[in-house]
């Protein structure tokens, strides 16, 4: 619609004088009074004055003064200057001072007839109010009237404010008005409609909107459609019919010649183009037909758009996004990725950033296409901009595969060396993951890990340490090489905790290989046992070591006691730390001490090499109770501590369990089908003497299930703390026949005085060994019994040694302890079996 505006002009108005003529007599007086008071200063002056303030305090003072003036002015209901005052208030609001007392004034301004007032009033409303305050509802009526105003600008103002801050109630009330306006042919106003939730009402109108020539209307209609589609999927089906129309519009835009109104650097109306592309994306997303219809136009846009300026690139970017999202044909997708590849070479940082972000999104689906640009992406790692570097790093990790692992890793490790600390943790984790998946050889893998640990060791995440340990354990042939390299790294630097932890664990495990100089992969170094111990002890005392690290090194030292020949030094260290302030260290030291003193014979079994661990699916759940020895791995994982300490911790848990009524079938063994629920099955012994329930003796002490000894030791080490109490109960001889003597020694389990811990010592005074020795016991029903595995099943002849076994008896009712025992063994080739009853328990053992 083309109308020539005609504006009748009046002489410029001098506000203060003309108003006088408009006022009737009664207010004339008031008005004259008012004239005598100084008029509020103009906005510009206020701004100028405030800007001259040199300090914050000065500024505050001025503002406060002015606020006071404004407030009194408001109180007087001064219509003339209200506008000016509110404007000043808005300025002060922008500076950060409170201005809420102006809210009502804004409303008054809106209600005024003057356009100036309305303008400032609406502005004030938009700035000071929002839809969460109730005051805004008061505006509803004003807006309603203004929406029906004869002047389009007033209507425009109202719509704008409504658009800016209309709450849903307000919108609902005024929806009718807005809709009416939609139908008017005035293009100016139709732009300004804004859709709240009332989509159905606007549905019929929207169909016609796309046929508009006016770009503004077109743009907002497209926005409207987009909004509708996003909110309600049913609309999608409805609007898909519009795809051809949209395509046509887009085509016209591209093909049309220069249009001065909408041109931006040679491209007509890029904003509209982008919007249409976006709408097309939403419409074509999972719909083959629509996507089909769009293919041509997308290809056209992609190839014809000028890329020299940002605008062109913006359109291309949107096009690429659209192509990726809809069901486009593969040629189109390759075109899109190539565009992104070209973006990567662009000088403009923003474009590179955008390209990397988009490639990251598409790398999953179009992996091969993105691979082609790998070298460019890797170059971006060296960019100066932080955001670009981060994107490039993420993308690089996504692109790593079996073929390019070596090259990529070199670049990534170089990046790790030189990048900012904020990246290091993520990069390190990424490197580990990638190395694990694609390592071409074990040695390469270990080398990579070493490199990460030495360069970014302190940034490595805590949970990597157990993973690394497991990895190292599983690379059996690399043990010597690994421990050597780790040792050398330790010599250089002990500040990086993850490195130190892994290194001390390895040294503890494979110290013998280190000392023996067996390395095949590289030149073996000459290390003495003392040097190794020096290093480990150094870790213990160093200020740089965290408590966790100290725990690792103490345990490592302990483990070396079975691998090194010089045990005395180790014993000394361990006993020193028995009085350490750190409770964790102290506990470990005390227990290791006990290991030396009381259970020395078990030490080798306890501290032997870890078997290959299976990768547990999750690093989480603790499965303490298992019925066979192979449970070692999953037991070890959860606590993230070296395995040797496992049993001790578990022991505590088990004891707590034992404190209850149930005897936990914790005995593992080679009779996997028989979880030794000691109580019930052993009772069968009383009647039926079948071999049930008791722990199978012979294989129990064999190597793979060294766990049992852990448990047993854990349990039996408990009484350590009860040494004093135990001393009170004298030992006794339970059985002495045919050269076989069985002694009982007692300890009381501390947490629960109802549990008596009995250790049997079987000795053989005959000339021949007793082999296949099995000791079984049964107790009356009121008791519960638990038999742990024996130290051996051969009782050496001529009292050269004893077989020990631990029995735990739960005696809740404090009845007199009675026991029936059964012994079987082979002496000089012939099997011997005997039953006996033990009644001579000392009273202290069951009271």
Partner 1 sequence: MMRFLLLFSRQGKLRLQKWFTPMSEREKKKIIRDMTTMVLARQPRSCNFLHWKDLKIIYKRYASLFFCLAIENQENELIALEVIHRYVELLDKYFGNVCELDIIFNFEKAYFILDEFLMGGEIQETSKQMVNRSIEASDMLQEDDSSEWFEVELFG
Beta carbon of residue 91, minimum distance to partner 1 (angstroms, whole number): 7
Q: List, in sequence order, every residue forming a beta bridge with 31; answer none if it has no partner.
A: none
* Residue 505 is a binding residue for partner 1 (CB under 8 A): no
Burial state string for 479-489 with b = 16 or more CB within 10 A and e = fewer than 16: bbbbbbbbbeb
- What minimum distance in Å lies between the beta carbon of 563 and partner 1? 52
Q: Which of residues 254-273 bind partner 1 (CB under 8 A)?
A: 260-262, 264, 269-272
- Residues from 4 through 63 that contact partner 1 (CB under 8 A): 4-10, 12-13, 18, 22, 44, 47-48, 51
Binding to partner 1 by residue 191, rule CB under 8 A? yes
Smallest gap from residue 338 Cβ to partner 1 (A): 18
Alpha-carbon distance of 742 to 739, in angstroms, equals 10
156/801 with CB nearer partner 1: 156
Query: In a 3-state reduction of DSSP, which class is residue 735?
Result: strand
Radius of gyration of the chain (CA): 43
- Is residue 659 a contact point for partner 1 (CB under 8 A)? no
219 binds partner 1 (CB under 8 A): yes
Residue 111 binds partner 1, judged by CB under 8 A = no
- Pick from 652, 712, 646, 702: which is nearest to 676 by CA? 712
Residue 216 or residue 780: which is nearer to partner 1 going by CB?
Answer: 216
Nearer Cβ to partner 1, position 112 or 627? 112
Contacting residues for 669 by C-beta, under 8 A, at least 6 apart: 628, 629, 676, 695, 696, 699, 700, 705, 708, 789
Should residue 444 be labelled a site residue for partner 1 when binding is judged by CB under 8 A?
Answer: no
Q: How far is the CB of 145 from partner 1 (least distance, A)?
A: 13
Stretch binding partner 1 (CB under 8 A), from 139-147, 174-182, 188-196, 793-801: 188-196
Question: In 3D, which of 287, 272, 288, 122 has the Cα closest to residue 210?
Answer: 272
Helix axes 421-438, 442-456, angle to 10 degrees: 170
Distances from the Cα of 633 to the Cα of 59, 587, 612, 669, 707, angstroms? 70, 23, 8, 15, 10
Contact code string over 350-389 relative to partner 1, x by CB under 8 A: xxxxx-----------------------------xxxxx-
**Contact between 486 and 496 (Cβ < 8 Å):** no
- Of 147-186, which residues contact partner 1 (CB under 8 A)? 150-153, 156, 160, 163-165, 186
Q: Write down the least CB distance from residue 95 to partner 1, Å.
A: 7
Ranges within 518-547 binding partner 1 (CB under 8 A): none
- Contact between residue 469 and residue 505 where contact means Cβ atoms under 8 Å apart: yes
Q: How far is the CB of 392 from partner 1 (least distance, A)?
A: 12
State the burial class of residue 695 (Cβ atoms within 10 Å of its Cβ: 0-12, 13-18, 19+). Answer: buried
What minimum distance in Å lies between the beta carbon of 82 and partner 1? 14
Would you say 4 or 583 has its CB closer to partner 1? Answer: 4
Distances (CA, A) of 232 to 209, 229, 236: 19, 5, 7
CB of 165 to partner 1, least distance (A): 7
Smallest gap from Cβ 159 to partner 1, in A, equals 8
Report how many residues bind partner 1 under the rule CB under 8 A.
85
Nearest distance in Å: CB 167, partner 1: 8
Q: What's the min distance (Å) between Cβ of 334 and partner 1?
A: 22
Pick 128 or 779: Cβ nearer partner 1: 128
Q: Torsion-angle region of residue 668: left (phi > 0), alpha (psi -120 to 50) or beta?
A: beta
Residues 173-187 as b or e (16 or more Cβ within 10 Å = b): bbbebbeebbeeeee
**Which ranges constitute the DSSP H helices of 285-371?**
288-304, 310-325, 330-344, 349-362, 367-371
- Between 110 and 490, CB nearer to partner 1: 110
Output the 3-class SS for 573-633.
HHHHHHHCCCHHHHHHHHHHHHHHHCCHHHHHHHCCCCCCCCCCCCCCCCCCCCCCHHHHH
Strand, helix or coil for residue 258: coil
Count other C-beta atoms under 10 Å from residue 534's C-beta: 12
70, 92, 146, 192: residue in contact with partner 1 (rule CB under 8 A): 192
Q: Does 1 bind partner 1 (CB under 8 A)?
A: yes
- Joined together, the tokens standing for residue 426 give 């993520």
> Least separation, in Å, of the C-beta of 383 and partner 1?
9
Among 70, 120, 556, 595, binds partner 1 (CB under 8 A): 120
Which parts of 325-354 interact with partner 1 (CB under 8 A)?
349-354
Shortest distance in whole angstroms from residue 125 CB to partner 1: 12
- Give me the 75-94 binding string for partner 1, x by CB under 8 A, dash otherwise: ------------x--xx--x
Figure out which of the listed residues 70, 139, 242, 311 binds partner 1, where binding follows CB under 8 A. Answer: 311
Nearer to partner 1, 305 or 645 (CB): 305
> CB-wise, 277 or 557, nearer to partner 1?
277
Helices (H), 9-55: 15-22, 25-36, 43-52
Q: Which two tokens stand for residue 838?
A: 């033990």
Nearer to partner 1, 364 or 830 (CB): 364
Which of 150/673 has CB closer to partner 1?
A: 150
- Measured in residues, the chain has a length of 847
């Amino acid at each position: 619609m083309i109308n020539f505006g005609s504006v009748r002009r009046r002489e410029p108005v001098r506000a203060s004088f003309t108003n006088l003529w408009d006022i009737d007599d009664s207010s004339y007086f008031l008005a004259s009074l008012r004239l005598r008071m100084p008029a509020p200063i103009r906005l510009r002056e206020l701004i100028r004055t405030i800007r001259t303030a040199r300090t914050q305090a000065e500024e505050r003072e001025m503002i406060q003064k002015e606020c006071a003036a404004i407030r009194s002015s408001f109180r007087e209901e001064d219509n003339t200057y209200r506008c000016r005052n509110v404007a000043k208030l808005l300025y002060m609001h922008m500076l950060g001072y409170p201005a809420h007392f102006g809210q009502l004034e804004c409303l008054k301004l809106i209600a005024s007839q003057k356009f100036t007032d309305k303008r400032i009033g609406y502005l004030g409303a938009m700035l000071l109010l929002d839809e969460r305050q109730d005051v805004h509802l008061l505006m509803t009526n004003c807006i309603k009237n203004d929406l029906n105003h004869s002047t389009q600008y007033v209507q425009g103002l109202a719509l704008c404010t409504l658009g800016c801050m209309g709450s849903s109630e307000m919108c609902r009330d005024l929806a009718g008005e807005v809709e009416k306006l939609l139908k008017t042919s005035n293009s100016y106003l139709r732009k300004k409609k804004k859709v709240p939730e009332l989509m159905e009402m606007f549905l019929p109108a929207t169909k016609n909107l796309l046929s508009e020539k006016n770009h503004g209307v077109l743009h907002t209609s497209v926005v409207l459609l987009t909004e509708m589609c996003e909110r309600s999927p049913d609309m999608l089906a409805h609007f898909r019919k519009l795809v051809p129309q949209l395509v046509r519009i887009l085509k016209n835009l591209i093909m049309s010649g220069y249009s001065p109104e909408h041109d931006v650097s040679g491209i007509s109306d890029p904003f509209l183009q982008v919007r249409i592309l976006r709408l097309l994306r939403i419409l074509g997303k999972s719909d083959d037909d629509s996507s089909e219809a769009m293919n041509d136009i997308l290809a056209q846009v992609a190839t014809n758009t000028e890329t020299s300026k940002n605008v062109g690139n913006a359109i291309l970017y949107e096009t690429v996004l659209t192509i990726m999202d809809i069901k486009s044909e593969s040629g189109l997708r390759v075109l899109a990725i190539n565009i992104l590849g070209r973006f990567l070479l662009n000088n403009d940082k923003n474009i590179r950033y955008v390209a990397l972000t988009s490639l990251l999104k598409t790398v999953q689906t179009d992996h091969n296409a993105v691979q082609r640009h790998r070298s460019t992406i890797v170059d971006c790692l060296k960019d100066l901009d932080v955001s670009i570097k981060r994107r490039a790093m993420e993308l690089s990790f996504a692109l790593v595969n079996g073929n390019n692992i070596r090259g990529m890793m070199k670049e990534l490790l170089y990046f790790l060396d030189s990048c900012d600390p904020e990246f290091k943790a993520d990069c390190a984790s990424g490197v580990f993951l990638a190395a694990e998946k694609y390592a071409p050889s074990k040695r390469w893998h270990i080398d990579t890990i070493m490199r990460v640990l030495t360069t970014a060791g302190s940034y490595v995440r805590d949970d990597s340490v157990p993973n690394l340990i497991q990895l190292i354990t599983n690379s059996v042939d690399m043990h010597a090489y690994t421990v050597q390299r780790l040792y050398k790294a330790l010599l250089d630097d002990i500040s990086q905790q993850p490195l130190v932890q892994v290194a001390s664990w390895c040294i503890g495990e494979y110290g013998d290989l280190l000392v023996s100089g067996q390395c095949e992969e590289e030149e073996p170094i000459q290390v003495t046992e003392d040097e190794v111990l020096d290093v480990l002890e150094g870790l213990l005392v160093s200020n740089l070591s965290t408590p966790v690290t100290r725990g690792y090194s103490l345990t490592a030292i302990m483990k070396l006691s079975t691998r090194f020949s010089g045990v005395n030094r180790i014993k000394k260290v361990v006993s020193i730390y028995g009085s350490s302030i750190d409770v964790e260290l102290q506990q470990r030291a005390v227990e290791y001490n006990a290991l030396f003193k009381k259970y020395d014979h078990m030490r080798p079994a306890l501290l032997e090499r870890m078997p290959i661990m299976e990768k547990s699916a999750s690093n989480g759940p603790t499965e303490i109770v298992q019925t066979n020895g192979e449970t070692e791995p999953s037991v070890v994982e959860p606590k993230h501590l070296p395995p040797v300490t496992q049993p001790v911790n578990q022991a505590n848990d088990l004891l707590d369990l034992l404190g209850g009524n149930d005897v936990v079938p914790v005995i593992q063994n080679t009779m996997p089908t028989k979880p030794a629920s000691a109580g019930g099955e052993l009772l069968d012994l009383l009647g039926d003497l079948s071999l049930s329930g008791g722990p199978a003796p012979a294989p129990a002490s064999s190597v793979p299930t060294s766990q049992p000894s852990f448990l047993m030791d854990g349990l039996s080490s408990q009484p350590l703390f009860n040494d004093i109490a135990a001393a009170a109960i004298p030992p006794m001889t339970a059985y002495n026949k045919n050269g076989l003597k069985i002694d009982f020694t007692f300890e009381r389990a501390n947490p629960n005085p109802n549990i008596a811990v009995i250790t049997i010592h079987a000795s053989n005074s005959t000339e021949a060994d007793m082999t296949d020795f099995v000791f079984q016991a049964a107790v009356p029903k009121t008791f519960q019994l638990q038999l742990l595995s024996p130290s051996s099943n051969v009782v050496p002849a001529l009292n050269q040694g004893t077989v020990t076994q631990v029995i735990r008896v739960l005696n809740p009712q404090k009845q007199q302890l009675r026991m029936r025992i059964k012994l079987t063994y082979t002496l000089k080739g012939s099997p011997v079996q005997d039953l006996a009853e033990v009644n001579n328990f000392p009273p202290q053992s069951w009271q």
